[in-house]
Amino acid sequence: MTKWEYSTVPLLVHATKQILDNWGQDGWELVQVVPGPNPEQLVAYLKRPKE
């Protein structure tokens, strides 16, 4: 059975793709994006298999 590690990442609206691409290169998979504490920010939940 796969064990996962998780991370939450603040996303800036003007740099969302760049931020997600950087995390993706490190093996993280996007699970969900939810609204952040203000309109200019989102929060991404990511996971990757635990090594």
pLDDT at residue 41, as a whole number: 87
Mean pLDDT, the chain, whole residue set: 94
Cβ contacts of 9 within 8 Å, gap of 6 or more: 19, 23, 43, 44, 45, 46
- Domain ranges in the chain? 4-49
The span from the CA of 28 to the CA of 31, in Å, is 9
Residue 5 near residue 48, CB atoms below 8 Å: yes
Confidence at 42, pLDDT banded by 50, 70, 90: very high
pTM of the model: 0.86
pLDDT at residue 49, as a whole number: 97
